[in-house]
């Protein structure tokens, strides 16, 4: 029924050619231009068409309408494009998206009849009146009428519909456009924000399909940036601009992005002037960035700095001459609905000087259709084939393959019907009421963005205005978000051992690696200095020299004792036991060398194992020796059986062997469960790593139980013999040696508590060497002194005399 009513309506309104809106030709293309614009949509009780001439006139859109007429005239005058073929047009004023259907029905009809979808052809011709349509201009109008053209695959080449929805080929298979989609415009706007570091912005948009699409694209695009949208508002003819600006001021927003139609943009700027809104940065889209009426408004310079994204304006040769030579054709007595501009009062100068935006998109859209038809008709240099039946889908197929040059621009479309050509110009509204070019954004063949900051006259005395919720954090500070916006934050200094990488995550302090360090407030970590005591260290060299001297002295004492083995001094010092002590001291000495150089598992074991094992044997020997001295001079007289038992079972060797075996078992067992291994101490100093050896606590305790026990027994026995004969004073000597030994390790323990740098290993080696020297110097060297320098005291008679005198003394 609806299709029938539409056909009857078209038949009723069948008309003859009406003024500038129609041109006969071999092939017709449709044109949809909103020369007038409906300011408000009044509800009606029945479907009816609107008389566009009663609505608001748009001079810039009328200029685009004339551009289509001019382009068709150029094509018809061309000898190379469509030779011997005339191109006509049928253009309608689409002032409304809901009340302009008669013109749409006429474009898709044939002889005033619309073929119902899905029905057999019957008496209908399968060819609509037009082979393609240029337009519409707005996304809202296009979304309203495009579904009527898509079923028959009638090509629609829009010169202004930028909604990203049209890239969906499943919904709009025959839609193409000569303007970039909203996504590209939004990308340019976001690039401007990033370039000037404006992060706290308001986004105002037309409350229609075009504006809502732009807002959604903008919110998606800024996710990868530091920009926050603090305020969004849709604009229409009922907007309360006073309330909008009040809310913007409350949010302390200095940058306002306006993504709106030309009419909404004009209303917004006029309201800003009336409300005395000042000191703002305005960023506009390509719909009104070149609006000459706004540029010349009184007070527009006071609103702040206006930056715009505009279509690159290409001068189109011959267009001005076409306007000046054309005559305004009055409509004939009968005319079809909305094919009249009612603009006889216009001057040609007004048309030529108006905003030239979207002129080239109109021009290239018409030429793209003409080249597609040229290819469908297989035109040659002279004529085109008349036998080929031209259908809209064949024109569409050739349109998709477009590849021609127009005004030095290579025209073509991608798979989504979007242009593979064009660029945007970034303009600044200067003090001379002119949109001055300050930069560009090129899409093909590669993306290139540029702004010349020096050309912009800021309202802030040549300083780039600041638009942010919170001031930027100083270097080394992390952001802690306050509220819902990531642009609102406080700054917290990163503690030591962490750093901030603003490029990756400005909100988190990243811990340094174990081998790195940092001061508070750092932006990077530094490698820690790895420290250990090398063999070339002066302290190491001195200790190594001391060790070599110790080895030499030990060898000398051993030789001297061997030569004088039968003398009383050697025998009283322990006889053959002296060689065991000297041998163990000698075997303990190599441990000193493993405290230097970079630690390894082997060096960690060898710095402890030889010393703890063989020094334990030394201590066992001195325990036995101390006990024997006390036994001979004190216990033997009172407990003769103890001496007898000791001598019978060789008690001294049993004790020494037992100590050796027990300590060996303890060491091997403890090291099996907790082997000493290299350790990187990263906690004592933040900027250094001290290389050392780590040993299990249990292993450490087990390995020193025997030495500590022997040391205690030795001290007890030797102290008991402190009043023995003056010249037979091994007990006193052993006591003194033990005191030196204890003092050495007390000093080392104190140093270890107070200092744990790399030289603690030098102190450890020194403590080990001092422990060895304490017995060599204070036990063996005095006896060597007697052997070499006091041989008269190294006789049997001398020692027997001392013993007899002591025996007489204790018997009284």
Residue 124 has pLDDT above 50, yes or no: no
Mean pLDDT of the chain: 86
The answer to whether 155 and 398 are in contact (CB under 8 A) is: no
Query: What pLDDT shows up at residue 119?
Result: 59
Instruction: Give the confidence band of 381 by pLDDT, cuts at 50, 70, 90.
Output: confident
Query: What pLDDT shows up at residue 12?
Result: 36
Identify the bridge partners of residue 413 per DSSP, sorted by sequence position. Answer: 419
Over residues 728-746, the mean pLDDT reads: 84
Over residues 311-326, the mean pLDDT reads: 88
Taking the C-alpha atoms of residue 259 and residue 218, their distance in angstroms, rounded to an integer, is 10
pLDDT tens column, 450-500 = 999 999 999 887 789 999 999 989 999 999 999 888 889 999 999 999 999
Over residues 651-679, the mean pLDDT reads: 89
Measuring CA to CA, how many Å separate 138 from each of 33, 135, 491, 508, 538?
Answer: 9, 8, 46, 45, 86
The answer to whether 800 and 725 are in contact (CB under 8 A) is: no
Residue 274 has pLDDT above 50, yes or no: yes
3-state secondary structure 541-564: HHHHHHHHHHHHHHHHHHHHHHHC
The answer to whether 686 and 713 are in contact (CB under 8 A) is: no
Please name which of 396, 425, 401 lies closest in space to residue 411, comparing C-alpha atoms.
401
Query: What pLDDT shows up at residue 578?
Result: 92
Question: Can you read off the two tokens belonging to residue 552?
Answer: 């030499």
Portion of the chain with pLDDT greater than 90, in percent: 55
The distance in angstroms from the start CA to the end CA of the chain is 150
Query: What pLDDT shows up at residue 763?
Result: 95
Identify the bridge partners of residue 202 per DSSP, sorted by sequence position. Answer: 231, 256
Residue 666 has pLDDT above 60, yes or no: yes
The answer for residues whose C-beta is within 8 angstroms of residue 459's C-beta and 6 or more apart is 278, 279, 304, 305, 465
Residue 95 has pLDDT above 90, yes or no: no
Helix 576-588 to helix 760-775 angle (10° resolution) is 170
Taking the C-alpha atoms of residue 588 and residue 6, their distance in angstroms, rounded to an integer, is 114
The answer for residues whose C-beta is within 8 angstroms of residue 1's C-beta and 6 or more apart is none
* Beta pairing, strands 526-527 & 516-517: antiparallel
Over residues 343-365, the mean pLDDT reads: 87
Q: Give one word for 385, left, alpha or beta, with left for phi > 0 and alpha for psi -120 to 50.
A: beta
Query: What pLDDT shows up at residue 123?
Result: 47
Taking the C-alpha atoms of residue 372 and residue 117, their distance in angstroms, rounded to an integer, is 26
What is the number of other CB atoms lying within 10 angstroms of the CB of residue 733? 18
Taking the C-alpha atoms of residue 627 and residue 644, their distance in angstroms, rounded to an integer, is 14
pLDDT tens column, 605-620 = 999 999 999 999 999 9
Identify the bridge partners of residue 206 per DSSP, sorted by sequence position. Answer: 235
Residue for token pair 């009383």: 568
Task: State the Cα torsion 577-579-584-586 to the nearest 10°.
Answer: 160
Q: Taking the model in full, what pTM does it have?
A: 0.68
Residue 793 has pLDDT above 80, yes or no: yes
Taking the C-alpha atoms of residue 221 and residue 225, their distance in angstroms, rounded to an integer, is 8
Residue 13 has pLDDT above 60, yes or no: no
Instruction: Give the confidence band of 227 by pLDDT, cuts at 50, 70, 90.
Output: very high
Taking the C-alpha atoms of residue 149 and residue 622, their distance in angstroms, rounded to an integer, is 113
Taking the C-alpha atoms of residue 69 and residue 72, their distance in angstroms, rounded to an integer, is 5
Query: What pLDDT shows up at residue 438?
Result: 94
The answer for residues whose C-beta is within 8 angstroms of residue 682's C-beta and 6 or more apart is 514, 515, 528, 689
pLDDT tens column, 693-722 = 988 877 788 888 999 999 998 888 877 765
The answer to whether 601 and 693 are in contact (CB under 8 A) is: no
* Beta pairing, strands 423-429 & 304-311: antiparallel
Query: What pLDDT shows up at residue 514?
Result: 85
The answer to whether 712 and 697 are in contact (CB under 8 A) is: no
Q: DSSP secondary structure string, 159-201? A: SS---GGGG-TTT-TTEEESS--HHHHHHHHHHHHHHHT--EE
Taking the C-alpha atoms of residue 482 and residue 479, their distance in angstroms, rounded to an integer, is 9
Q: DSSP secondary structure string, 313-365? A: ----TTHHHHHHH---PPP-SS--TT-----TT--HHHHHHS--TTHHHHHHH
Portion of the chain with pLDDT greater than 70, in percent: 89
What is the number of other CB atoms lying within 10 angstroms of the CB of residue 373? 26
The answer for residues whose C-beta is within 8 angstroms of residue 584's C-beta and 6 or more apart is 614, 615, 617, 618, 621
3-state secondary structure 484-516: CCCCCEEEEECCCCEEEECCCEEEEEEECCCCE
Query: What pLDDT shows up at residue 16?
Result: 35
Please name which of 217, 36, 32 lies closest in space to residue 142, comparing C-alpha atoms.
32
Question: Can you read off the two tokens belonging to residue 663?
Answer: 């300590």
Query: What pLDDT shows up at residue 723?
Result: 60
Residue 2 has pLDDT above 60, yes or no: no
Over residues 7-26, the mean pLDDT reads: 58
Please name which of 676, 679, 681 lies closest in space to residue 703, comparing C-alpha atoms.
676
Q: φ and ψ at 656, to 5 degrees?
A: -65, -45
């Amino acid at each position: 029924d609806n299709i029938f009513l539409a056909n009857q309506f078209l038949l009723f309104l069948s008309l003859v050619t009406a003024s500038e809106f129609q041109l006969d030709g071999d092939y017709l293309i449709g044109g949809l231009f909103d020369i007038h614009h409906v300011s408000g949509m009044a509800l009606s009780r029945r479907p009816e068409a609107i008389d566009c001439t009663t609505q608001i006139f748009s001079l810039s859109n009328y200029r685009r309408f004339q551009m289509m007429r001019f382009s068709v005239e150029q094509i018809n005058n061309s000898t190379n494009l469509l030779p011997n073929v005339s191109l006509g047009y049928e253009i309608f004023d689409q002032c409304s998206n809901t009340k302009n259907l008669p013109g749409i029905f006429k474009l898709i009809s044939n002889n005033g009849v619309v073929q119902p979808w899905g029905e057999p052809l019957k008496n209908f011709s399968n060819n609509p009146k037009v082979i393609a349509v240029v337009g519409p201009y707005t996304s809202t109008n296009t979304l309203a009428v495009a579904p009527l053209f898509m079923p028959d695959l009638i090509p629609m080449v829009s010169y202004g519909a930028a909604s990203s929805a049209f890239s969906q080929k499943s919904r709009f298979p025959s839609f193409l456009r000569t303007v970039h989609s909203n996504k590209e415009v939004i990308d340019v706007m976001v690039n401007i924000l990033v370039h000037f570091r404006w992060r706290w912005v308001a986004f105002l948009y037309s409350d229609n399909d075009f504006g809502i699409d732009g807002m959604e694209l903008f919110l998606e695009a800024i996710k990868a940036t530091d920009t926050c949208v603090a305020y969004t508002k849709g604009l229409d003819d009922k907007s309360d601009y006073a309330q909008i600006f009040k809310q913007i001021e409350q949010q302390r927003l200095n940058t306002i992005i306006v993504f709106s139609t030309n009419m909404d943009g004009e209303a917004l700027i006029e309201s800003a002037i009336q409300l005395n809104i000042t000191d703002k940065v305005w960023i506009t889209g390509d719909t009104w960035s070149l609006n000459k009426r706004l540029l010349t408004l009184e007070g527009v310079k006071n609103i702040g700095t206006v930056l715009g994204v505009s279509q690159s304006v290409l001068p189109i040769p011959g267009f001005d001459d076409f306007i000046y030579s054309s005559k305004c054709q009055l409509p004939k007595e009968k005319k079809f609905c909305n094919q009249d501009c009612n603009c006889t009062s216009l001057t040609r100068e007004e048309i030529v000087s108006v905003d030239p935006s979207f002129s080239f998109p109109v021009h290239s859209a018409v030429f793209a259709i003409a080249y597609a038809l040229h290819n469908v008709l297989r035109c040659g240099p002279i004529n085109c084939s008349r036998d080929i039946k031209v259908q809209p889908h064949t024109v569409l197929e050739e349109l998709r393959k477009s590849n021609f040059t127009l005004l030095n621009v290579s025209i073509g479309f991608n798979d989504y019907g979007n242009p593979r050509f064009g660029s945007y110009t970034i303009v600044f509204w200067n003090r001379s009421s002119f949109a001055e070019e300050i930069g560009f954004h090129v899409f093909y063949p590669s993306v290139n963005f540029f702004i010349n900051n020096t050309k912009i006259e800021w309202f802030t005395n040549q300083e780039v205005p600041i638009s942010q919720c919170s001031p930027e954090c100083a270097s080394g500070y992390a952001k802690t978000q306050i509220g819902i916006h990531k642009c609102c934050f406080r700054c917290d200094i990163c503690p030591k051992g962490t750093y901030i990488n603003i490029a990756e995550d400005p909100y988190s302090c990243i811990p340094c690696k174990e081998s790195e360090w940092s001061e508070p407030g750092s932006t990077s970590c530094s490698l820690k200095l790895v420290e250990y005591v090398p063999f070339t260290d002066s302290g190491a060299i001195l200790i190594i020299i001391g060790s070599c001297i110790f080895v030499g002295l030990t060898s000398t004492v051993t030789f001297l004792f061997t030569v004088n083995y039968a003398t009383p001094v050697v025998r009283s010092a322990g006889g053959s036991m002296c060689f065991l002590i000297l041998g163990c001291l000698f075997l303990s000495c190599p441990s000193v060398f493993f405290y230097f150089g970079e630690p390894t598992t082997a060096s960690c074991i060898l710095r402890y194992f030889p010393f703890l094992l063989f020094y334990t044997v030394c201590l066992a020997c001195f325990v036995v020796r101390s006990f024997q001295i006390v036994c001979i001079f004190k216990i033997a007289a009172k407990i003769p059986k103890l001496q007898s038992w000791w001598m019978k079972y060789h008690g001294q060797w049993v004790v020494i062997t037992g100590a050796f075996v027990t300590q060996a078992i303890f060491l091997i067992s403890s090291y099996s469960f907790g082997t000493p291994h290299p350790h990187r101490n990263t906690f004592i100093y933040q900027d250094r790593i001290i290389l050392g050896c780590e040993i299990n606590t249990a292993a450490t305790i087990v390995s020193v139980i025997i030495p500590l026990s022997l040391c205690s027994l030795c001290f007890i026995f030797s102290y008991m013999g402190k009043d023995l004969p003056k010249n037979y004073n091994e007990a006193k000597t052993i006591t003194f040696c033990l005191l030196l030994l204890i003092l050495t390790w007390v000093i080392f323990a104190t140093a270890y508590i107070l200092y744990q740098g790399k030289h603690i290993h030098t102190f450890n080696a020194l403590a080990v060497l001092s422990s060895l020297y304490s017995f060599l110097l204070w036990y063996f060297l005095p006896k060597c002194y007697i052997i070499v320098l006091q041989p008269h005291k190294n006789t049997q008679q001398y020692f027997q005399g001392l013993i007899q005198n002591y025996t007489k003394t204790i018997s009284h």
